[in-house]
Homo-oligomer: A and B are copies of this chain.
Amino acid sequence: METVGTAGGAAQRVAEVLRERIARGILPPGTRLSEESLGAGLGVSRNTLREAFRLLADGRLVVHELNRGVFVRVLGPGDVIDIYTVRRALETAGVRAAPDAPPERFGALRQAVAAGAKAAQSGDWSMVGTADLHFHQALGGLAGSPRLDEYLSRLLAELRLAFLAMPSPRDLHEPFLHRNQAIAALLESGASDRAEAELERYLSDAQRMILDIMMKADA
C-alpha cells in the first residue's frame, strides 16, 4: 500500500504540483488554498500539506496569513518594481561574467532563443513567455552560480504571477523577442559591455510596460 510512487518526500512533491498549477493559472492569484479541500484532492494529510505550504510561502508564491490560511500571491506595482531591481542585479552579473564563462553555457541561451522563435511562429504566445523566462534564466546562468540560479528562478516564478494578470500575452512578449536575440548575438560576439547596456534597456522597458498595463487594469 503505497500512495506515493516517487521518492523525494511528499511535501516537496505536493509543493511542486501546486507550483505548476499556480504557474499555469489554474490557481489564479488571490485564490485561497484550503487545507481540507486540497488535501483531499491530492491524497495527502493536512500535516503534509502544511509543510508544502511553508515551502511555497518561502518562495513567495503564496502568502500565509495567520489563522486565515494561505492565498496565491497577488502582485502589486511595488512588487514588480522590486522584482526588476533584483533581476537587473542578477542578470547583469551573469552578463558581466560572460567573458570568463565556458562556451557550453551559451548553449542554453541559443536554445531559449530558438524556442522563442519557434513558439512565435506557431502563435503560442504563452510559450513565448516561458521561452523568454528561460532565456533570462540562462543569462543569469552565465555566472555559473547555483545560488544565483536559484534566486533568479524564484524571482521569475514570481514574475509569472504578474504575467497571468496581463490581458494580451502577445502584446506583452512579442516586442521583446528580437531583443533577446540581439542580446544573445552581442554576447556570442564577445561584446558583453554592449550586451549589458542592451539588457538594462530591455529590463527598463519591460518593467514600464507591465506597470502601465497593471495601472490601466486597476482603473
- Interface residues, chain A, with chain B CB atoms under 8 Å away: 7-9, 11, 47, 50-51, 54-55, 58-59, 64, 66, 82-83, 85-86, 88-90, 92-93, 143-148, 151, 155
Contacts A51-B54, A54-B51, A58-B55 hold; do A148 and B89 have CB atoms under 8 A apart? yes
Count of this chain's copies in the oligomeric assembly:
2
Which listed residue (B51, B59, B92, B148) contacts A51, Cβ 8 A? B51
Cross-chain contact A7 with B82 (CB below 8 angstroms): no
A144 to B54, CA, bound (A): 26
> Would you list 28 pairs from A and B whose C-beta atoms are within 8 A, ordered by A residue?
A8-B66, A9-B64, A9-B66, A47-B47, A51-B51, A54-B55, A54-B58, A55-B58, A58-B59, A82-B145, A82-B146, A82-B147, A83-B147, A85-B93, A85-B144, A85-B145, A85-B147, A85-B148, A86-B93, A86-B147, A86-B148, A86-B151, A89-B89, A89-B92, A89-B93, A89-B143, A89-B148, A151-B151
Residue of B nearest to A85 (CB): B145
Which listed residue (B51, B89, B143, B146) contacts A50, Cβ 8 A? B51
